[in-house]
Every structure is written in structure tokens, then in C-alpha cells.
Amino acid sequence: MHGLATRPDPIPTLYVKSTAGDYGTIYGIRQIFKKARKTAPCLLIFEDLDSMITEDTRSFFLNEVDGLESNDGIMMIGSTNYLEKLDAGITKRPSRFDRKYHFDLPAAPERARYCEHWRSRLADNEAIQFPPSLCSAIAGITDGFSFAFLQEAFISALLAIADQQRHSTINEATDNTEDTNATKTPEKSESLWEAMSKQVGMLRREIQGSRKSAKDAVEYDGPTRASKAGFS
């Protein structure tokens, strides 16, 4: 999307997360394709396609995709975590969605590289100790995590550390105000490893039984087996 938008001759993207509207889903689908045809050439993206297409709207959606009106210049992309929920008329019939790509969950080396990305972002933050060895350690405890869950773990851990540091500063200031002669040892904030370990544990409980778990990814017999990406 970014690449298309920054071309010398930019191409717009229509990103659709819902077809619902004040006048009903069918009207919403009609307006989406009407806008796309008027905007063409464009990229038309449907996020979580399985949640948009119901028994009531399937035929209407397929008619729009098939192009009872011209769809020239429209490139359509649909995403789903539940391919089996989509009608075979969408997933298997040519000239609708012609190519299917299965994105495996990131393996340990990919998770470590993602941690390196966060390490570089935090390089100037003196309050966070993030040695290189921590990248492989975090990668080791996040088997089965998508990049979205890894991001959530980092954000939640950093917020927890920041909150601890803020409360420690407030408590120290209060203690000094009450007794200027007292010598206090400020509370030690959790290390990034400690905070990450807690957040990973909480998130892992959330993804139990989820399609995003490593077990589901391995069992899904997609175009590229998840086992080839490092899962066993």
C-alpha cells in the first residue's frame, strides 16, 4: 500500500474491514465496488474476508467480483485466518481470487530478527537494558507467536516498566517530602526480560485453541507447511 502510494504515478488503496452500513451489507458491498471502479486503477483489500461474506450476501458479493460491470484496473486481495470457512466459489474458482498464499507463523530466527528491530528502537533509551543476547532468549519463549502477538508483548512489557518507574519516582518524592532526613532505596523496576516473560505468559493463555497457535499452523496443510518454517 505504501509503495503504491509513493509511486511517481500513485495508485490508491481501498482497505475494507467491514461491509456493514446504515443501509445494510448488500448496499455496502455495492458502494465498495462502485468506489473501486471509479478509483481504478486501485488496490482493493478485504481484511478477514470470512467475516464479511455470509449466506445472505455470498451471491451478491460473487456477482460484484465476477464483474457484471467492468472490474478492469482493480486488483483484489482478501485475507483470512479461517480459509475453511470461505465458500469454495471464492477459494477455488479461477478468475476470482486466483492465487492463494499461506503465511506461516514466524520461526525462531524471524522472531529474533523482530526482537532486533525493537532493540534498535530502544537503543537510545537509557532506562531499558536490552543486551543482544535477550533477542534469542525472547525468541525462545515465543514459539507459536505471530508478529502481532510479539508486538503486543513488547508494548505491554514497556508500559508495565514505565508504570513501575513512574510510581517509584512518585513514592520517592513523597517519602522525601514527609521525612527529608530519611534515606530510602528506590524500588527496582522489572527488567525487560522479567516484564516480557510475564506478558508472554498472559498472551500464551489467550492464544490457546487459537488459529494463530503453532499447533494449528502445523496441522494446517497449506501451500507451504509450517514445519518448513522451523516448527516441529
Question: What sign results for the dihedral spanned by CA atoms 23, 26, 30, 36?
Answer: positive
Task: Match domain 2-91 to its CATH number in 3.40.50.1110, 3.20.20.70, 3.40.50.300, 3.30.470.10.
Answer: 3.40.50.300
- Integer angstrom CA distances of residue 60 from 66, 91, 96, 215: 10, 16, 14, 36
Per-residue pLDDT of the chain (232 residues; tens, 9 = 90+): 999 999 999 999 999 999 887 888 999 999 999 999 999 999 999 999 998 888 888 889 999 998 767 899 999 999 998 888 888 888 888 778 888 898 889 999 999 999 999 999 999 998 899 999 999 999 999 999 999 999 999 999 999 999 888 876 665 555 555 555 544 444 445 799 999 999 999 999 887 755 444 445 445 454 444 344 343 3
